[in-house]
Amino acid sequence: MSSHRKEGTNNRTALWILLVASIISLLLLLIPFLINNYWFEENNFYYSQDNHVVAAEKKTAKSELPTLLFLNAVKRFEERTGKYPTTESDLSNGSLKFLSHLPKEHYIFGGSPLEVSADGVLYKRGVPGELTLEISFYPDVNKLAIVRGNGEVLSTYPVASGKEPLPFLKSEVSERVVEPNGGKDALGTRGLVLQDGYAIHGTDNPFSIGGRITKGCIRLFNDHIEEIYPYVALGTPFTVKKGEPAAATFAEGMPAISLSPQQLASETQPNKTFRWNH
């Protein structure tokens, strides 16, 4: 009888131990969730390279991209001419061709060289930097990024780069070209010229992407340079940066913008031979 009583006590003890262990395991799983969601207020900050808090992170929505595209072109036009564009042709026609595609549903020209409206907001004397776009190159990891003016990385792309570092750390897009040299040679299907014979362009050798094999130019897959080309206005800043880019908001790349055959044809230069450091 006593042996049966002892066996029953041992079984109950084992059950209690199992129950307590289960409760502890459940608490260990729940505590981090409770702390993250109910204890601390969420802080979404991004940091500069010197690890200082720059600003609260706010991811760009796809619906905001047409406004960024347009206002970046407006800003670059203002930097070059000292005034805002007053008509669509100021940006998309003429010899400069600041931009290929204008999202007409997102802007209104104010009829004054000092005013422009985008998404119902009137900008009189300056487009805020956070509403512009830039290009960043990360040679340490052979990546190119489209970056919003507030530091947010919108998209990243693998590239081929030069055997030697670029001779400059900052530049800007000085020319935009569709199908340089016909679009079927080593320069690929699009080109964004920087300076001194250096450019960002496509390639007829996709297997070169990822390597450090060029004479200085930055090569992308043709579909990648075609993807970013409509977003990049003439005058868009280019910067060489250390390290690697942050995770991109649009991990699959920038949303596609279709250009008509007429738009593409207007940005070819069939009578000019480009000799970039490819």
Secondary element (H or E) of residue 46 = strand 45-47
* CA–CA gap between residue 55 and residue 152 (Å, rounded): 10
With vertex at residue 98, the alpha carbon angle to CA 94 and CA 102, rounded to the nearest 5 degrees, is 100
Q: How far apart are CA 114 and CA 122, in angstroms?
A: 10
Distance CA 141, CA 152 (A): 18
Name residue, tokens 């422009």. Answer: 116
Per-residue tokens: 73: 């072109």
* Beta carbons of 182 and 191 less than 8 angstroms apart: no
180-185: which pairs have CB atoms within 8 A and are 24 or more residues apart? 180/269, 180/274, 180/276, 181/273, 181/274, 182/270
> Does the annotation count 217 as an active-site position?
yes
Q: Give the integer Cα–Cα distance in Å for 85 and 55.
A: 31
Question: Cα angle at 72 between 264 and 223, to 5 degrees?
Answer: 40
Q: What whole-number distance in Å separates Cα of residue 258 and Cα of residue 266?
A: 15
Phi, psi of 53 (to 5 degrees): -65, 125
- Candidate list 101, 106, 217, 278, residue with the active-site label: 217
Q: What is the rounded CA–CA span in Å between residue 75 and residue 10? A: 79
Fill in the amino acid letter for 216: G
**Coil, strand or helix: which one is 157?**
strand
Catalytic entry in 4, 101, 106, 201 = 201
- Token readout for 84 is 């805002």
Q: Is 4 an annotated catalytic residue? A: no
Catalytic residues: 201, 217
